[in-house]
Structure 1
Amino acid sequence: MKNQEQGRQSFSKHLTQNEVKDRIIFFSYTDVAPFFEFQEGRLFFMDVTDSLGKVWTFTGTFYANPDVGKYVSIKWPQFSSEKGLKANDEVIFIERSRREGNRPWKNFKFVIKRKIRLFGQNIWGELMV
């Protein structure tokens, strides 16, 4: 998805209960393919800056499974437990810049949104954690 305000590319999803519990997030290959050059079974790395300016490194792996298709898993155990993520939170990765080097390494801004009820209306607010 294209982020028009910042002129950057982003991908996002709503977390499932299993993703929160297992501290691994899954994306369809088509959602993240524009951001990485994948090799099956090989790790890729992401530097992710949270809303407080702290930089985290996530690792991911691309898989091609004949039963479920192509997908990507991203591991973030310390981040997910420290941030108190919940099922149905929306996580957004906004591409920033490519980090130099011989590894497929990217830099993203990370936004967490949670649905809250305010004055009888459901709204999505950004978590500043």
Structure 2
Amino acid sequence: MENQEQGRQSFSKHLTQSEAKDRIIFFSYTDVAPFFEFQEGYMFFVNVTDSLGKAWTFIGTFYTNPEIGKYVSIKWPQFSSVKGLKANDEVIFMERPRRKSEAPWKKFKLVIKRKIRLFGQDIWGELKV
């Protein structure tokens, strides 16, 4: 999906209860295919910078399942634990432009949004931890 605010390509989702608990996030292949080159069963790295500027590396794997189709899993146990991710948190991976001195693989800014109730209204705020 196109992130109009930042003018960058992004993909996102709301975490399920099991994704928050197991610290593995799942994406449909079609959601993430434009961002990565996959080989089935092989791992790949997802390099991100969080809202505080800290760099993280996650491990992703591409799978094909005859019952559910193609999907990608991204493991991020330490990140999930440190950030205290919960079910229904929205995670947004925004592609960062590559600088000339950087390696050729893609890097992302990872934004986490959490819904809070304020004065009777639901508001999505960026989690800055």
3-state SS, counterpart of residue 39 of structure 2: coil
Q: Which whole-Å CA distance do the structure 2 matches of 1:7 and 1:118 have between them?
A: 29
Number of matched pairs: 126
The amino acid that maps onto 1:21 is: K
The amino acid that maps onto 2:103 is: E
2:111 is the counterpart of 1:111 = yes
Q: Deviations over 1:17-66 (max 9, x none)?
A: 11011110000001001101111011111111001110000110000111
Q: Say if 1:45 and 1:106, in contact at 8 Å, map to a contact too.
A: no
2:43 is the counterpart of 1:36 = no
3-state SS, counterpart of residue 32 of structure 1: helix
Q: Which whole-Å CA distance do the structure 1 matches of 2:44 and 2:107 have between them?
A: 12
Q: Which whole-Å CA distance do the structure 2 matches of 1:90 and 1:53 have between them?
A: 19
Q: Say if 1:13 and 1:92, in contact at 8 Å, map to a contact too.
A: yes
Q: Which whole-Å CA distance do the structure 1 matches of 2:89 and 2:5 have between them?
A: 22
RMSD, matched Cα: 1.1
Question: What pairs up with 1:1-129 in 2 under 5 angstroms?
Answer: 1-97=1-97, 100=103, 105-129=105-129
Q: Which whole-Å CA distance do the structure 2 matches of 1:58 and 1:106 have between them?
A: 13
Q: Deviations over 1:50-87 (max 9, x none)?
A: 01110000110000111110000000000000000000
> Which runs of 4 or more aligned residues in structure 1 lie more than 3 Å from their structure 2 counterparts after TM superposition?
none
Identity of aligned residues (%): 83
The amino acid that maps onto 1:100 is: A
Gaps of 5+ in 2: none
Q: Which whole-Å CA distance do the structure 2 matches of 1:5 and 1:120 have between them?
A: 26
Gaps of 5+ in 1: none
